[in-house]
Amino acid sequence: MADRASDNASSLQGLAAILAALSLALFAWIQAGFVRAFSDAAAGQQMLDARIGGYEREDVVAMLRYLRDHPDPAAILHSMYLGPELVFPLILGGLLFCLVRLIGPGGFFFGRPIPPGATTIIFCLPIFYTLVDYVENIAGLLLYPPAAPSDAMISLLANLLPIIVRLKFLTLVVTVILLARFAIFRYLSPDGSRPS
């Protein structure tokens, strides 16, 4: 039984390593191949997807107007959505899920053990991140050229995109913070178990 658990942990570690390498490669491809190319084609303007601090409705509308008049940056953004952004959210979400599984949610909040329901929610965070990232990408495909959305669709997506991007980054940050907390807890636990 212990050998089987050890084999499962080793398999999960191998999968996490592969997903980490793929995530890093895709992130580098997105940054070097699309974010930088967009900035160069847009005379230094940054694509909204690269703004970690988020953006507002007015930024979405301004970007839409800009991309309608500038086909080269619009083509770069569209290619990114239909290229590495097709798989990056899934790969990163899979990596986060594997890390949560490897580290294993445990410990205490306010002197009480983490309840099973909270553990389930913690395991759902990487899945939620993946879904929200795909929703953001789909919204971008529906909004920016070559798409030709109606005024009602523009208004809806311009209002939703800032909320979606904040949810995406919030989910990612909470997941990373929880991973760090659980890893520290395991490392400092009295039974001496160390994270794998």
- Nearest CA to 179 out of 87, 95, 71 is that of 95
Q: How many residues does the chain have?
A: 196
Half-sphere exposure at residue 40, Cβ-oriented, CA atoms within 13 angstroms: 8
Q: Say what the pLDDT of residue 195 is.
A: 45
Q: Judge whether 147 lies within some domain.
A: yes
Q: Is 149 left (phi over 0), alpha (psi -120 to 50) or beta?
A: beta
Q: Say if residues 122 and 100 touch (Cβ distance below 8 Å).
A: yes
Q: What percent of the chain has pLDDT over 70?
A: 91
Strands, E assignment, the chain = 108-109, 112-113
Q: Judge whether 81 lies within some domain.
A: yes
Task: Read off the pLDDT band of 196 (50, 70, 90).
Answer: very low
Q: Judge whether 8 lies within some domain.
A: yes
The whole domain housing 19 covers: 2-188
Q: Judge whether 99 lies within some domain.
A: yes
- Summarize pLDDT for 7-30 with one digit per residue, the tens: 677 899 999 999 999 999 999 999
- Summarize pLDDT for 67-99 with one digit per residue, the tens: 999 999 999 999 999 999 999 999 999 999 999
Is the pLDDT at 192 greater than 60? The verdict is: no
Max Cα–Cα distance, the chain, nearest Å: 64
How many domains does the chain divide into?
1
Q: Judge whether 158 lies within some domain.
A: yes
Q: Say if residues 15 and 97 touch (Cβ distance below 8 Å).
A: no
Q: Judge whether 194 lies within some domain.
A: no
pTM exceeding the 0.75 threshold for the entire prediction? yes
Q: Judge whether 142 lies within some domain.
A: yes
- Nearest CA to 173 out of 125, 135, 139, 127 is that of 125
Q: Judge whether 156 lies within some domain.
A: yes
Mean of the per-residue pLDDT values of the chain: 91
* The residue to which tokens 């959505």 are assigned: 81
153 SS3 class: helix
Q: Say what the pLDDT of residue 116 is.
A: 83
